[in-house]
Amino acid sequence: MPMVECPVCGMTIDSELAPASATFDAQTYQFCSQGCRDQFLADPGSYVGNTGS
């Protein structure tokens, strides 16, 4: 089970059991909660260090 870090809060989660995910700039990110996913989608560039363009 590969572990990943939620890009919003930094929590370590099992990528196969992550309760939420989203794709930004051709990359899929996993999140510890729907709330973190929603926060990420509001401004993804601030979490991945680019603007997606």
CATH number of domain containing 23: 2.30.170
Q: Is residue 18 part of a domain?
A: yes
Query: What is the spatial distance between Cα 53 and Cα 45, in angstroms, rounded to a whole number?
Result: 10
pLDDT bin (cut points 50, 70, 90) of residue 51 is very low
> Is residue 31 assigned to a domain?
yes
Q: Give the pLDDT confidence score for residue 53 in this predicted structure.
A: 45
Task: State which H helix or E strand residue 6 sits in.
Answer: none
- The answer to whether position 17 is within a domain reads yes
Domain count, the chain: 1
- Cα–Cα distances in Å, from 14 out to 35, 45, 46, 51? 17, 23, 23, 27
Structural domain range at position 41: 3-48
- pLDDT tens string 2-47: 999 999 999 999 999 999 999 999 999 999 999 999 999 999 999 9
Within a domain: 34? yes
Q: Is residue 41 part of a domain?
A: yes
